[in-house]
Amino acid sequence: MNQSNSAKFMVLSNKHVSNINRALKDIKSDMVADFICADQKSLTITTNKVALSLDLSTIKKYIKNINAFNLEDIMALRLS
């Protein structure tokens, strides 16, 4: 994610954490997003548990549906 997209995302990071948690609750996941960190090239979403592939795809779907981003700059989510 480029710096412009990252900055736009971080302005409303508390809202995004709430929305991610709501999306995870909708799929009946017991994982919870705690907070979001940004560095120069990426966003890191910290959770209370190791993410399953369904959890990652739910978070990815939420991020891609935010209208403020240039979608070409968003890379796939992965465990690290």
Model confidence pLDDT, tens digit, residues 51-65: 889 999 998 888 888
Place of tokens 């412009």: 4
Q: What is the per-residue pLDDT for 42? A: 77
* Token digits of residue 80: 């690290």
pLDDT exceeds cutoff 70 at 38 = yes
- The backbone torsions φ and ψ at residue 56, rounded to the nearest 5 degrees and listed phi first, read -65, -40
- The neighbouring-strand residues paired with 36 are 45
Q: What is the per-residue pLDDT for 51? A: 87
Q: Return the amino acid letter for 59.
A: I
Q: CA geometry: angle at 46 spanning 62 and 70, to 5°?
A: 35
Quickly state the pLDDT bin for 22 (edges 50, 70, 90): very high
Place of tokens 């709501």: 22
The one-character DSSP state at 52 is P
What's this model's pTM, rounded to 2 decimal places? 0.76
